[in-house]
Structure 1
């Protein structure tokens, strides 16, 4: 018996290795996950939860003056696992899936072969692009209920083949009733360390208090690469958590194809969609909550409910929540982004629609637009709370430098006033829990809570604001755990804390800002001497005497010497930006290029030292990095998240904990 199994495993390994092709090198690609002229989406090494729904698209390409061959076929063969497809050869895909494909489509697109072609195009050379002609077929809402390994083969161009191995994972017994996923957007271990340093008391180098996330029993790390790049953005990284599939920059819940429309790309069923149609056997359809300090249409929250290749289609994303083909219609939606809900002053809603009214009338939402209304709400109806026209203001401005809130037009209703009465992340999270508990205590729920401006402040290298928002998330985690325990839900709830991607932030010493400021602008060497390293780094001046989890004072003498690896040219003085978010670089007024080129902002740290950028001149802020991000876990199923894992695994592990999927 052992010998037979061994032979079977060897045969399977041989079949899989036969289609293995390493990711192609290079910066520019004709299409994501499409190294040949024949493309299969989902691509090689995709994994699926048994019974989850997904779209399939094939594309056949021809470049320049070649004509595309529109005669091709797609087959699927089961390589391992039991079931009715276990002992058959390759089957025509339509017959296997019992789905009739859409009619064959055709279109053209262009791409850049390399950096030389791209930059020539940016400077006006219209001949730098390579034209591509496409023939394509799509199958929508496919399901594979039998776990196992499958080989999918596209045959095209008279004998050429593109093959992909797909793995369908089995459904597991439900382990938890509820899951809360905290995302500190862009958060890294180094940021957590810095936040701890400025907020917790230490004696003889030992912390006397720890952050709430420090106290989680399980710690793991997540690899964040995207489908076609070593660096990810928030859209496709958050999508990996919500679908179990990798995607490309800007894409939400889809594999990006090459068609003109950003809405016809092959879709991947979302965690929230699975939650909504969970089988009665595993507890029935559950609740969904979305809480963020960003616009609710922004990449990370939109990954919970949207399908589009372009994360910037925010007006349509608002519509998708309640009008999509299989809309999530979340029980709780709290955050910013009011300008996409109305057409009043500053409004950008789809077709000028009043979506506040539509959400209320068509789906029964209670709509609130300020902190007082949010806290007063005690009902059971689904809750839509939008508190800013754009991203919500950060903790440091809402609580310390409050004059920075006085921005006309930031009110979410389009009345032209400033949004001066915004709730905090903890207040939104607790209210979300209250509503979900009232609506779905029996069935359970999934809630995503995002501290969005950890990332949004790291980009302009406004480290004080980024770390303050990280501390706000940690305080929210503590408040959430207390609420769950008080309502006897702590033993039924898995809590996860992680990030969607990284920044290359780190701290390398401290800065004596008094000494720094004593020198003239031209004395840059002397200013740099204010940075203490190793034994001279000492300790910064931040103190939390009132015990609220935040430094009592941010404008202190001894600050952190911090920085990132990828940044534009700017000036740095290592001191808090009192008058609002930093703007490190601005567009040059004169340039011989056709595109914008940035230089250090004259108003940002004008007396700081010059830091020549490590990025190209077209970048005005810092960029993401490839660091693994931490994941903290507590509650039933938390042991699954220990160790190193790919970002797509998070979806499958959450699905396992919640008992999602359908198995034949």
Structure 2
């Protein structure tokens, strides 16, 4: 018996190894996860939870003047000793869509890309495509499967798919906190400016410091080193990697952003969970960004283009098997109406549509939010775009007057009554508990502007929003304990990707500001940066114990920066008049694409920092490093150690008992 089992395992391993092909090198590609002229989506090494719905697409490509051979086939077989390859349509019992064809172009390398950017219409390579799609496929039997596309008279593309079994449910509820762009270095810096310390030892810690389980997450995209928020958040919600800008799909090469092969989301699985596993559960979405922005939209949307925000609003209530979340709180009001500044789909009043068609209670300011005590689903939209950051909502309130941010579009007035993240989270929990205490629920809560402020190098605003996230975590734990849900709820705190931020010392800004702005003065200004033994403690103090520094304009600040930034000026001091704009468009450039240079109005008395990226980048970009994940509650042990971002979905699905097994 042992020999038979060993032989079977060896056979499976051999079958898998024959398929394996390392990711192709280079910066440009014809289509993500498709290194050959034959494409299979989901691609090699995709993982599924048993019973989850997903779409399949194959594409056959031909470049330049060649035409694709439309005579191709797709087979599937379970990797075992006696399994046979079967026609995919017959095996899946899903009728494919009619064969499609289209054309697209791509740049083979950097030389072709920049020639295209300069207007050379012949630099890009044309591609002709033949394609077939199968929609809403299910595999209910766990195991390993080999999928083979045969095309172009004998060529093959093979993929191994793994279907994971459904396990016993471990928790009733899951809260996924996301500090967008948050890294260990940022958490360290936030702790430094907010927590008291004596003899180099912290006397208090952040709320996330107290979690019993710590792990790290690898964040690579399907086809690139560096991820964006869309496909990284999509990995958390589907268990599949994707490409930049994609939500809940594998990007294909067709023109439309809404026909790409989909994967079923946690929220969709939770909504159709079987009665055997506890029945359909609740879904909550809380963010300080637009509710159509990448991270919140990854909970409920399917598109390869994260910028299709008007349609994303529609997908929540009108999409195929729409999520229709119980709680939706954040910004993005302009996509709900067609009034002043409105950009809603076809001019639709989505506030009315959500209310009349799906029974939502609609609130548009903090006062209305906190007064709501009902059980109806709750839609709270508090800003026309992204909500203002914590520092401007709570400290530099005059900055709120700088924009017409009324979420209803009824006036050109600013939104002055915006809730904080902890208030939105707790109110969301109240509604979810009233609607789904028996069945359980999933909430995603995002501190979006950790990322949105790191991009323009506004580190103070980013760290303040990280501290707001930490306060929200503390308030959440208090609420769960008070309502006797703490032992039934898994809490996760993580990021979707990283920024290359770090602290390398401290700065005496009084000494920094005492010198002139000429070249000799700039040299002396750099001497205000203390490193190693001269990296003394900064001046931030939290005397009132609210978790935030009492003063943000202090003498001794952090010497901080990132590895990826545009040309800019830096004075290491808070921008009290609003978010930084580090670089501006160079109108005198002879290039066909935009070129950015240091903004002379931003930190005008700072030191010059030449950019480290291509000149068409206006702000800093994401970085490679792993991000931390903190876990507490039932199933938290699953999240210890190093893991891929797709594993987060599978572990949440395991904890909630999602999926459907044969």
- Residue 350 of structure 2 corresponds to 355
The whole-number CA distance in structure 2 between the counterparts of 1:155 and 1:407 is 59
- Residue 539 of structure 2 corresponds to 541
Q: Does 1:510 align with 2:516?
A: no
Q: 1:237·1:501 contact (CA, 8 Å) conserved in 2?
A: yes
Q: 1:345·1:409 contact (CA, 8 Å) conserved in 2?
A: no
- Residue 83 of structure 1 corresponds to none
Report how far residue 87 of structure 1 moved: 3.8
Mapping for residues 22-41 of structure 1, pairs under 5 Å: 22-41=22-41
TM-score, length basis structure 2:
0.99
The whole-number CA distance in structure 2 between the counterparts of 1:604 and 1:298 is 27
Mapping for residues 127-206 of structure 1, pairs under 5 Å: 127-206=122-201
The whole-number CA distance in structure 2 between the counterparts of 1:364 and 1:48 is 34
The whole-number CA distance in structure 2 between the counterparts of 1:641 and 1:436 is 25
Mapping for residues 592-611 of structure 1, pairs under 5 Å: 592-611=590-609
Q: Does 1:580 align with 2:575?
A: no
The whole-number CA distance in structure 2 between the counterparts of 1:604 and 1:16 is 55
Q: Does 1:469 align with 2:490?
A: no
**CA RMSD, Structure 1 to Structure 2 (Å):** 0.6
Spell out, residue by residue over 1:507-528, the C-alpha distance to the aligned partner (whole angstroms, 9 max, x if none). Answer: 0000000000000001111000
The whole-number CA distance in structure 2 between the counterparts of 1:208 and 1:65 is 70
Spell out, residue by residue over 1:338-377, the C-alpha distance to the aligned partner (whole angstroms, 9 max, x if none). Answer: 0000000100000000000000000000000000000000
The whole-number CA distance in structure 1 between the counterparts of 2:570 and 2:600 is 12
Q: 1:254·1:266 contact (CA, 8 Å) conserved in 2?
A: yes
Equivalent residue of 1:257, what SS?
coil
- Residue 494 of structure 2 corresponds to 498
Mapping for residues 218-233 of structure 1, pairs under 5 Å: 218-233=213-228
- Residue 548 of structure 2 corresponds to 550
The whole-number CA distance in structure 2 between the counterparts of 1:490 and 1:662 is 27
For residue 445 of structure 1, the aligned residue among 425, 441, 447 is 441
For residue 557 of structure 2, the aligned residue among 559, 563, 568 is 559
Aligned length: 659
For residue 365 of structure 2, the aligned residue among 367, 370, 394 is 370
- Residue 107 of structure 2 corresponds to 112
Report how far residue 652 of structure 1 moved: 0.2
Report how far residue 407 of structure 1 moved: 3.0
Q: 1:407·1:417 contact (CA, 8 Å) conserved in 2?
A: no
Unaligned runs of 5+ in 2: none
The whole-number CA distance in structure 1 between the counterparts of 2:445 and 2:608 is 37
For residue 124 of structure 1, the aligned residue among 105, 119, 127 is 119
The whole-number CA distance in structure 2 between the counterparts of 1:39 and 1:157 is 12
Report how far residue 408 of structure 1 moved: 3.9
Spell out, residue by residue over 1:424-478, the C-alpha distance to the aligned partner (whole angstroms, 9 max, x if none). Answer: 0000000000000000000000000000000000000000000000000000000
Spell out, residue by residue over 1:584-620, the C-alpha distance to the aligned partner (whole angstroms, 9 max, x if none). Answer: 0000120110111000001100000000000111001
- Residue 42 of structure 1 corresponds to 42
For residue 93 of structure 2, the aligned residue among 90, 98, 117 is 98
The whole-number CA distance in structure 2 between the counterparts of 1:97 and 1:626 is 38
Structure 1 runs, 4 residues or longer, greater than 2 Å off: none
For residue 256 of structure 2, the aligned residue among 246, 252, 261 is 261
Equivalent residue of 1:450, what SS?
strand
- Residue 651 of structure 1 corresponds to 649
Q: Does 1:401 align with 2:399?
A: no
The whole-number CA distance in structure 2 between the counterparts of 1:408 and 1:360 is 27
Equivalent residue of 2:79, what SS?
strand
The whole-number CA distance in structure 2 between the counterparts of 1:10 and 1:179 is 38
Q: Does 1:454 align with 2:450?
A: yes
For residue 239 of structure 2, the aligned residue among 244, 248, 255 is 244
Spell out, residue by residue over 1:530-569, the C-alpha distance to the aligned partner (whole angstroms, 9 max, x if none). Answer: 0000000110000000000000000000000000000000
Spell out, residue by residue over 1:174-213, the C-alpha distance to the aligned partner (whole angstroms, 9 max, x if none). Answer: 0000000000000000000000000000000000000000
For residue 528 of structure 1, the aligned residue among 523, 526, 529 is 526
The whole-number CA distance in structure 1 between the counterparts of 2:404 and 2:348 is 19
Equivalent residue of 2:133, what SS?
strand
The whole-number CA distance in structure 2 between the counterparts of 1:602 and 1:410 is 27
The whole-number CA distance in structure 1 between the counterparts of 2:575 and 2:240 is 39
Report how far residue 105 of structure 1 moved: 0.2
Equivalent residue of 2:296, what SS?
helix
Equivalent residue of 1:9, what SS?
helix
The whole-number CA distance in structure 1 between the counterparts of 2:522 and 2:635 is 53
The whole-number CA distance in structure 1 between the counterparts of 2:119 and 2:403 is 38
The whole-number CA distance in structure 2 between the counterparts of 1:407 and 1:368 is 23
The whole-number CA distance in structure 2 between the counterparts of 1:294 and 1:392 is 6
Equivalent residue of 1:454, what SS?
helix
Q: Does 1:519 align with 2:538?
A: no
Spell out, residue by residue over 1:60-85, the C-alpha distance to the aligned partner (whole angstroms, 9 max, x if none). Answer: 000000011000000001004xxxxx
The whole-number CA distance in structure 1 between the counterparts of 2:525 and 2:254 is 53
Equivalent residue of 1:418, what SS?
coil
The whole-number CA distance in structure 1 between the counterparts of 2:359 and 2:66 is 54
Q: 1:572·1:611 contact (CA, 8 Å) conserved in 2?
A: yes
Q: 1:407·1:418 contact (CA, 8 Å) conserved in 2?
A: yes
The whole-number CA distance in structure 2 between the counterparts of 1:498 and 1:382 is 27
The whole-number CA distance in structure 1 between the counterparts of 2:31 and 2:579 is 36
- Residue 53 of structure 2 corresponds to 53
TM-score, length basis structure 1:
0.99
- Residue 384 of structure 2 corresponds to 389
Equivalent residue of 1:119, what SS?
helix
Equivalent residue of 1:18, what SS?
helix
- Residue 628 of structure 2 corresponds to 630
Mapping for residues 306-385 of structure 1, pairs under 5 Å: 306-385=301-380
The whole-number CA distance in structure 1 between the counterparts of 2:8 and 2:429 is 49
Report how far residue 3 of structure 1 moved: 1.3
Q: 1:216·1:633 contact (CA, 8 Å) conserved in 2?
A: yes
Spell out, residue by residue over 1:295-316, the C-alpha distance to the aligned partner (whole angstroms, 9 max, x if none). Answer: 0000000000000000000000
- Residue 280 of structure 1 corresponds to 275
Spell out, residue by residue over 1:21-42, the C-alpha distance to the aligned partner (whole angstroms, 9 max, x if none). Answer: 0000000000000000000000
The whole-number CA distance in structure 2 between the counterparts of 1:299 and 1:536 is 41
- Residue 432 of structure 1 corresponds to 428
Spell out, residue by residue over 1:4-51, the C-alpha distance to the aligned partner (whole angstroms, 9 max, x if none). Answer: 111111111111010110000000000000000000000000000000
Segment of structure 1 superposing worse, 4-13 or 286-295: 4-13
Report how far residue 88 of structure 1 moved: 2.9
The whole-number CA distance in structure 1 between the counterparts of 2:601 and 2:369 is 37
Report how far residue 409 of structure 1 moved: 1.9
